[in-house]
A and B are shown apart, each in its own frame.
Chain A
Amino acid sequence: MSTAVLDKRPAGVSGPRFSQRYVPVLATLALLVLMYLFGTFQYEGFASGQGVANLFIDNSYLMVIAVGMTFVILTGGIDLSVGAVAALSTMVAATLLEDRGWSAPVVIPVVLLIGCTLGAAMGAVIHYYEIQPFIVTLAGMFLARGLCYVISTDSQSITDGLYSDIGLETIPLGGGVVITYSVLVALAAVLIAYMVLHYTRLGRNVYALGGNKQSALLMGLPIARTTIAVYTISGFCAALGGILFSFYALSGSPNTAIGLELDAIAAVVIGGTLLVGGSGFVLGSVIGVLVLGLIQTIITFANLESYFTRITIGLLLFAFILLQRLVFARRSPSS
């Protein structure tokens, strides 16, 4: 009974006491550890420090995007445009840098601003015209992907000095393990998101809005500002993810990140955030991203075809949604 009472406390203001809300995150963490142990015992050369670092290096852009998606899903919304916005960012960056000769310190803010603007516009349409997030962000996805192809249908490599420096330079962590600057950016994004969600008014509003929109409205919380803010954050994170991806790939391509929104949603769900909103953790999404990355690594080590990655992610998604359903059965009395 006490857990049921705990369960009703608004997330974000609660202390670190154990409650049912932690079950999905802990399950994901356990899964991550199990998968890592499995890989270690099964494959030679799996358990290296650099292997772990690579997990972060290869998935830093997804991590940033999943952080933004966590905000949106916590309010009970969804953002299908992130993959296309990330692709648009790589395209805009490549064009401005290479064709227009702009310098990177100018290009990066421009790209981030475009992401924020798109996100804010979608949030405004969702709130003021009461259209479902799903369909609005779908239109946003069409728009961003279409703009990519309008800019160019070919990919373009980025030769800018700052980009290649950031993309190729590594930071030694000792023991021969290195990470890239993108990892630092991603970790900073995670930290900031954690602070915002748990220690600011905006964070509380996000949880309240996702928990029960009607109550949030009656309590006088700024629904409009919060809704627009979360989609702006998601747009910003998508653009930042795009920038990190262009550091990583040193190119801009209109076909970048097709289906990335699904990976981001999967990471958030596997990370234990409730899809109806109101409950979840940004760190859970990070673990979710690492689980997805580890699946990829294991499948590479096992010499399996890449399509098994998608099947495995689908199965995991199924398992975790089922888990959410079981753990939170009392909370959502639908059907």
Chain B
Amino acid sequence: MSITRHRLFYPLALLLVLLVSNVFFTPTFFNLRMQDGHLYGSLIDIVRNGAPLLIVAVGMTFVIATGGIDLSVGAVMAISGAVATHHIAGLGNQDSTVGVLTAVAMALGFCTLLGLWNGILVAVVGIQPIIATLILMVAGRGVAQWITDGQIITVNSPAYKLIGGGYKLALPFAIFLAIAVLVFAAVISRKSALGMLIESVGGNAEASRLAGIRSRGLILLAYVFSGFCAGLAGLMISSNVSSADANNTGLFYELDAILAVVIGGTALIGGRYFLVGTLIGALTIQTLTTTILTIGINPNATLLFKAFVVFAMCLIQSPAFRAKVFRRRHRPSAPPSAPASKEQHVRVPA
């Protein structure tokens, strides 16, 4: 009974149901095999393809925790790939480590600046986050196309390919990057007061200001980190296919990232955030996508399933909905006993 009240219960249950239901369509779903020293299997695919989403979603978690939202991540991903491939394509030796590292640094640096731009609009100028980041969402893809001159840039660089498509220790390199970002975010925010301060700002900006918390810098930091994460994810996607497509890289990623955060139990109004929840959320979305591909449904119909997942997760998280369902379910039973009031207390932090 009490296990169903754990905040990760529903997200985890959803993920498990999705994973297990795959066995009915693909009996070999959970099989793993070694080939040429690389580990292969559906599970590995899910984690590898979910890595960019996880990274973007980790950045998004902090932004949402401050009570904001970052709609520009998809466009920033496109810009990141464009900047990196544009630099690599101009190199004499495309495989030169220094050249690739410079390209990566340029892309990440530029995306961090874009995050700073979002942060300044929100924290300093005081524009609503949806709108402030909408500007870059609208213009960003144009900027990416500007950089690539409207073309799809293709590069031939094994060193660059490593980021999104390479292997290390038998596992896709992208997995290590994603875990590194997740662990970095968890350690830096949970082993210091930073996470608590961010939650405080997201929970009640005015109260935290009165308590002496400098909300401006924290909000700025969240957007900068989100920009950096989007940049890294954009590198992964473009590296995986060794090209940059300004029109399609990261399309709808902002929505998937927000969805991952919401599935993970972080409320959109800000306040408490759950990085492990975001991890589960990102894996859930990727599993859903993979499942649909394996079953052979048109990949574009994924959107339909995502719609139902968003509705379901939002309804489960909505106190108003739970109150109504709860009341209806318990109305027939005669005495409003003690557990009823207890449940109401549990409901609050969701």
A interface residues (Cβ-Cβ under 8 A, vs B): 78, 125, 128-132, 134-136, 138-143, 145-147, 149-150, 153, 254, 262, 265-266, 269, 275-276, 305, 307-311, 313-315, 317-318, 321-322, 325, 332, 334-335
Q: Please give the distance in Å from A320's CB to the nearest CB on chain B.
A: 10
Interface flags, B252-288, vs A, CB<8A=1, else 0 = 0001001000100000110000000000000000000
In the assembled complex, the Cα of A78 lies from the Cα of B319 at a distance in Å of: 22
**Sample of 10 further A-B pairs with CB below 8 A, known A153-B300, A314-B139, A335-B215:** A139-B307, A142-B310, A149-B300, A149-B304, A254-B300, A305-B150, A307-B141, A310-B138, A310-B142, A321-B131
| A266 to B130 Cα, complex, angstroms | 12
Q: CB-nearest residue of chain A relative to B123?
A: A335
Leading 8 A-B pairs by shortest Cβ distance: A314-B139, A146-B304, A310-B142, A142-B307, A146-B303, A149-B300, A143-B307, A307-B145
B268 proximity list for chain A (CB < 8 A): 132, 134-135
Q: How far is the CA of A266 from the CA of B125 in the complex (A)?
A: 19
Is A266 a contact partner of B301 (Cβ separation < 8 A)? Answer: no
Interface residues of B in 278-336 (CB under 8 A from A): 298, 300-308, 310-311, 314-315, 318-321
Contacting pair A307 B146 (CB below 8 A)? yes
Total number of residue pairs linking A and B with CB closer than 8 Å:
131
A272 to chain B, nearest CB (A): 14
- Interface majority SS on A: helix, strand, loop or mixed? helix
Given A134-B268, A150-B301: A262 and B137 interface contact (C-beta under 8 Å): yes
Chain B, 122-170, CB within 8 A of any chain A CB: 123, 125-128, 130-132, 134-143, 145-146, 149-150
A153 to B137, CA, bound (A): 26
In the assembled complex, B69 has its CB within 8 A of some CB on chain A? yes
- Chain A contacts for B126, CB-based, 8 A: 325, 332, 334-335
A335 CB contact (under 8 Å) in B139, B149, B205? B205
Contacts of A310 on B, CB cut-off 8 Å? 138-139, 141-142, 145
Docked-complex contact B303 and A145, CB < 8 angstroms: yes
**Bound Cα distance from A111 to B76, whole angstroms:** 36
Query: Chain B residues with Cβ under 8 A from A335's Cβ?
Result: 123, 126, 205, 215-216
Interface size class of B (residues with CB under 8 A): 35 or more
CB–CB A275/B307 < 8 A: no
| A256, chain B: closest CB distance, angstroms | 13
> How far apart are B157's CB and chain A's nearest CB, in angstroms?
25
Residues of B within 8 A of A309 (CB): 142
How far, in Å, is B113 (CB) from chain A's closest CB? 16
B138 contact from A135, A149, A314, Cβ within 8 A = A314
Please report the C-alpha to C-alpha distance between residue A308 and residue B138 in the assembled complex, in whole angstroms: 11
Tell me whether A139 and B142 are in contact (CB under 8 A): no
Q: Is the CB of B255 within 8 A of A130?
A: no
16 A-B residue pairs with CB within 8 Å? A131-B314, A134-B130, A135-B310, A142-B255, A143-B303, A146-B303, A146-B306, A149-B301, A305-B149, A311-B139, A313-B138, A321-B127, A321-B135, A332-B126, A335-B123, A335-B205
Contact present for A311 and B301 (CB under 8 Å): no
How far is A60 from B307 in the complex, measured between Cα atoms in Å?
A: 29
A170 CB to closest chain B CB (Å) equals 32
* CA A278 to CA B238, docked complex, whole Å: 43
B128: chain A residues within 8 A (beta carbon): 275-276
Q: How far is the CA of A129 from the CA of B162 in the complex (A)?
A: 46
Contact B141 A135 (CB under 8 A): no
CB-CB under 8 A from B135, the residues of chain A are 314, 317-318, 321
User: Do A129 and B139 touch across chains, with their CB atoms under 8 A apart?
Assistant: no
Q: Is the CB of A325 within 8 A of B127?
A: yes
Judge whether A129 and B318 touch: CB under 8 Å: yes
B138–A262 CB distance below 8 A: yes
Nearest A residue to B125 by beta-carbon distance? A325
Interface residues of B in 62-82 (CB under 8 A from A): 69
